[in-house]
A and B are shown apart, each in its own frame.
Chain A
């Protein structure tokens, strides 16, 4: 169907202004970086409009045009700001070379349904551009951190050496710092002790609570559920202050056990929510069948129910782990210096001395988080596959 959409060359009055608009956006960024956004917009629009006209009406050969644009803008970039600007210029050149002919030849129409009005086609592409912009907005802060963590200096600064891609501008010293400092290693060790213990407690209690609350005959189910989920809703600082005074009285403040219990309380809601969601798809006739075969409730749970709800339990456990591993407010109250966790160390380090060691740690943590989320996603797919196979 789609392939039948007619493709035709477009008039100058269409593609030149559109290219000019795109050039204005690009010019806004380049201009802002060089001091004047407005001037950048004007220059970008004029240059790109002229380029579009010349390429389609004078040069005409697409391959040559695209290479000329790419190399030309790369050279311009090189003279404006050295090698990094050259790469950016080349990227712009590649994009505009492609963009001009994409519009001129009418190729943009090829992949959309033939019955769409021009307005709908415009929206089709605008929507994609907006999505891309949101994605860039969300991901850029994380991406900026990564190269900075290889900085050879002790500041959050892209030094001239780094921008020239000079190897002297890069170093692993902040990673070394992280692995050699007793403060950081102590914090990692504390986090690795506290987070798994808290996760274990959250998963055990959360799973039991979810199974209990999914029984139709339990009274006040909604009220109990609301109470159990409240740590997620109550502002963290309130829970933390309350825990601080209570734990101080019972002698748990400043102990590892206290921090573990506090983090378990924060993690339980995540486990309850994910396990309850999995239990919706759980076929209760299976437990009756197991009982019919003579299995007691405990055996039924471990042999029949648990394997089927395992993806929910594991993803809840991962959330509980991340909650504990990332948590800074409660541990500042409930813990004392002996329980300093990784986020606590990052918090004080960032406040008292802006050292790129934090960026190195952040990069490592982003890596770990990506791994954990990949696991969650794989488990979710597995769970969906299983649910598709289960009867009913």
Chain B
């Protein structure tokens, strides 16, 4: 009895403290919890727009939480517990769509919430097709693609995605992501399926068998990865000849860490990453986060981010402003996945297809892995 009373009393004090804190500073909260992926990507966000924002609003502070990988599960739990502690969450587009469907993310009107381009183009046109969900505020375009060890491929480095499946020309281990997405598309493409037909074929059980059979030809030489950092580590070790990962990770291995690695851009798969605002934020925190997000996704800020990491800005109007790397001083444009030379043959992550087929193909893929 006594214990419960003490507990309730202490929680009342904590609660009262929070309320007083919010009231004393007008209608905008003074603290933001931003959720992101950690590593070089988070630090690019920090340098490009969080630090400048804090510089302009010296009474505000921001805390980073590196929980984007489990954002969906955590937001569900927070919602159930009635205690949403995050203010702005960085997620991939597929997660944003799920969160939006479940009502865990707030729907926004892009033209109202986001800044227009410098020439007055409204945000909805500036982001264009990349606004894949009503809750999603895109920041970057990244791609999943291959890197290979330049010292392990002889005189003829791989140039085509199908070289990944060619064990005779490029013997050695490969690293592939431990999930069907992307791998199935690549397998079909290298099994003679036309690019335009890939998803039609993959929708049929025979097509899925075909893709798994093609993957089966290299299964013994595959190391399956699940974290974006795995492939760079394996490449640096020389454990693998080639491996897929996010293009920014490969940029870091090649240009920052100076490892003997090169990019294989063929059939890279574009995907989007951006912010969502959790549903049900109190008014003061919502006002703060709206203010921040308008600043953080304007044309200049998204262009600034590309000084720190080789991901393409999601706004059309930012593209001409991409400059040099902040520390290395090299031109960033040729390292962007969207650069015309790199983007000769690309896929865009097919959200509708994978939303419909993901569970089914996932189950088959996992069963196939275990065989």
Contacts and interface: CB of A to CB of B under 8 A. Distances in A.
A337 interface: yes
Contacts of B37: 352
A88 interface: no
B77 to A, nearest CB: 7
A157 B38 contact: no
Which 5 residue pairs are nearest across A and B when measured between Cβ atoms?
A248-B81, A337-B65, A352-B38, A248-B83, A353-B39
A349 interface: yes
Given A337-B64, A349-B38, A157 B85 contact: no
A253 B232 CA distance: 36
Contact of B85 (A249, A257, A336, A352): A336
Contacts of A252: 10-11, 14
B113 interface: no
Interface majority SS (helix, strand, loop, mixed), chain B: helix
Contact of B11 (A251, A254, A353): A251
A244 interface: yes
Task: Give the residue among A248, A252, A338, A351 with the most B Cβ atoms within 10 A.
Answer: A351
Interface in B193-250: 227-230, 232-233, 236-237
A154 B257 contact: yes
Interface in B227-285: 227-230, 232-233, 236-237, 257
A36 B65 CA distance: 47
B8 A250 contact: yes
Interface residues of B, number: 36
A228 to B, nearest CB: 14
Contacts of B8: 250
B81 A249 contact: yes
Interface in A240-271: 241, 244-245, 248-255, 257
Interface residues on A, range: 20 to 34
B340 interface: no
A329 B18 CA distance: 26
A154 to B, nearest CB: 5
Interface of B: 7-8, 10-12, 14-15, 18, 33, 35, 37-40, 63-67, 69, 77-78, 80-83, 85, 227-230, 232-233, 236-237, 257
A155 interface: yes
Contacts of A251: 11-12, 14-15, 18
Contact of A155 (B10, B78, B237): B237
Interface of A: 153-157, 241, 244-245, 248-255, 257, 336-338, 340, 348-349, 351-354
B38 A153 contact: no
Contacts of B80: 245
A231 B82 CA distance: 26
Contacts of B40: 353
A241 B77 CA distance: 9
B82 A248 contact: yes
Contacts of B12: 251
Contacts of B77: 241, 244-245
A295 B63 CA distance: 54
